Structure 1
Amino acid sequence: MRSRSSLSAALLLALAACAPATPAPMAEAPVDQAAIKAELDVVRAAYAQAEMAGDAAAVAGMYVEDGAIDFYGAPPMRGRAAIQAGMGQLYSTGKFEVVEIVGEVTRARIATAATETGTYHNAQRVNGKLTHAWGRWASGAVKDSTGWKVTYLIGFPDSTKTDK
């Protein structure tokens, strides 16, 4: 019995030694961070133009269907329809005269998904008075066959800046 066990073990070891090696996992192609940042720079510029124009539909169209916005002091916006309504309400309070959106850090682990952080400066004329707002933001974006879409945006005041 012992020799049969030894023979079986030897046979299993021999078969295991002859088995093809498990192929190494394929390395993911390196992500071109600079190219993704350049593409998202274009999205930010279009976003700023839509804000300057007060075009809530254009802003909402830059988000995925279930996109979300959280702005300090404003109700959460969930989904394109809520984004369009919320941004429309914001634009109805006064015209933006300055919209600067600066991306500082862009990171992508894969070529179709990225996160960013940056700063913003807006100036909106409300009741005849130009009011400035400086802040910071973070966002997520995904790329599909139509281009980049924002999945989430959070914006909050920059405590180091004051109205000038």
Structure 2
Amino acid sequence: MFSIGEHVIHPGQGVCTVTGFDEDAPTPMIILECKQGHAKTRMMYPLAQSDRLHLAISREEAEDLIEHYGDLECDPFTERNSSLEETHFKQLLKEGAPETVRVAKTMHHRIRLAERQAKKPSSYYARVLKEARRRSLEELSVAIGCSEEDIEQRLSAAESAIDASLN
């Protein structure tokens, strides 16, 4: 069971904060608040499905993930059908970090590889990259206790170092 104030990963929304419980409702609920962009959304989540939620990573895990970003392997999954590939990566985003970071790194890498080969990257790469980055920044900033902009700068520096080594 989760406690009020804990950050959990909602499979569809990403990072949410547990703000309460409604155990007197016909279906007991966990009250969650998630932030996407500038708006906050309050939602009820069935307590019976709480096993689909999990805690956000710890500060130590987040720091380690950023520190060893260069060592993080890209996901090798490929499929002839890009829709099936996109589905695979979107499913991984539901797991939270480190998978969201791995997916973002994979999409970034695939876009850069296509550009280096003078090819147009698959359109789903940018869609998945955007969502993977959003979820990664959100979870890492909550775990470390700093702004998403700070996390973005740290990850961008790591990506730039990798890009420079590929040239």
User: Which structure has the bigger radius of gyration?
Assistant: 1
TM-score, normalising length from structure 2? 0.23
Higher helix share: 2
Higher strand share: 1
TM-score, normalising length from structure 1? 0.23
